[in-house]
Structure 1
């Protein structure tokens, strides 16, 4: 009489390890961090001609003029319109990319929360910018043409409001959400670094008579985003998910 060995059933620990490994593979397959970074870098670079050549539309009556000189209290509303539309289109492109990727790899996508929150942040940016134009938080100088330095105390409320009105900061906040959605620690670290860069850049006052004075505020974030896109694309793992 012969005895055949019967395969032993997997232990609970082995099953748990298998589930965790499958979960890791699925999350890796769902990731596509390089593409949002590339899209955001593109719209940031495309903003340069808008900042330089778009005519100023004084929709909120913030400009004061004298012969040969005009001072406007708020950024050009054309720039705000550009960023609002560009961010909306960016999230539409990102959503389409993740849907196509999920179909190609045969896994679901969790990009919807990121796209929804990103669009909400873009709308909030526009609303805060308009509110700041109609009801400025900082005092308006009596003589807008004065070159004398004015000491203004900027509190947390002003700092937070200005941050929410900044397109580059809003992009960084959305990247934090993407890192949470993808459970991507490397993207989280990158997003925090990017936010630190744009916040520091936003706090820099550039004294220049050049019409290209804004370039550092756009080129630096764009370069950081391009480098991030290249790094995440270069080091993304080859993903295979078995059913």
Structure 2
């Protein structure tokens, strides 16, 4: 007979706390927030030559000519096609990156909801943009060559529709889903700020003859995405999963 006591077994509450702590560590180690931000910044910068040099393809029959002047209503279908394809390709690239990371580390992030929602939002953006071509907010004047300021101010609903039909808003909404998937409060704050900028920029009605009018609307979100990618990459935890 000995006086040695048997080793104490952990209580269910302690085991549950240990599992939760391990889950938090794994989740933090598996975050790759910087990569989606970097991909979105890249496709935003690539869009600059598309906006500037892509020909206007009048596939929706919105162009009207008078003498040597042509006026086209709505966004360039080439630009709209670029964003739709670029966003879907971006989500495919992001999905491949997360899958490769999961195989390498043995534990994956449930990124499928983010990818699915992102692709759905890209398709809805294209549909909303086409709808706005035929139902512009604000309405177009009867004479497209008129110089009179006949554009009424749209209401809050109109501004919201214009904002949500923009690529920046679509990216921001998808980032909110990624913040939920990764349980990432810093990404949530970043996404809300980015979405606010996207809504403000997308809701603006631009009257200008400059061929570079779009530049601030691409450089500002691209710069924000690049800074966010650099910050999340710099402050990410060590990619180690406890044994």
Q: TM-score, normalised to structure 1's length? A: 0.94
Do the aligned residues in 2 keep the contact of 1:45 with 1:219 (CA within 8 Å)?
yes
Question: Taking structure 1 as reference, are residues 211 and 151 closer, same or farther at Cα in structure 2, changes over 3 Å only?
Answer: closer
- Name structure 2 gaps, 5 residues minimum: none
- 1:90 match: 90
The number of equivalent residue pairs is 243
Secondary structure of the 1:195 match is: helix
- Name structure 1 gaps, 5 residues minimum: none
CA shift for structure 1 position 81: 0.5
Structure-to-structure mapping, 1:24-43, within 5 angstroms: 24-43=24-43
CA shift for structure 1 position 137: 4.4
- 2:211 match: 211
Q: TM-score, normalised to structure 2's length? A: 0.94
1:160 has 2:160 as partner: yes
Secondary structure of the 1:23 match is: helix
Secondary structure of the 1:78 match is: helix
Do the aligned residues in 2 keep the contact of 1:29 with 1:105 (CA within 8 Å)?
no
Q: Give the Cα separation in 1 of the matches to 2:147 and 2:140.
A: 14
- 1:149 match: 149
Structure-to-structure mapping, 1:48-87, within 5 angstroms: 48-87=48-87
CA shift for structure 1 position 205: 4.7
Do the aligned residues in 1 keep the contact of 2:41 with 2:225 (CA within 8 Å)?
yes
- 2:121 match: 121
Structure-to-structure mapping, 1:128-143, within 5 angstroms: 128-143=128-143
Q: Give the Cα separation in 1 of the matches to 2:218 and 2:68.
A: 28
Do the aligned residues in 1 keep the contact of 2:62 with 2:72 (CA within 8 Å)?
yes
1:15 has 2:54 as partner: no
Secondary structure of the 1:64 match is: strand
Q: Give the Cα separation in 2 of the matches to 1:239 and 1:184.
A: 16
CA shift for structure 1 position 7: 1.5
Do the aligned residues in 1 keep the contact of 2:125 with 2:166 (CA within 8 Å)?
yes
TM-align CA RMSD: 1.6
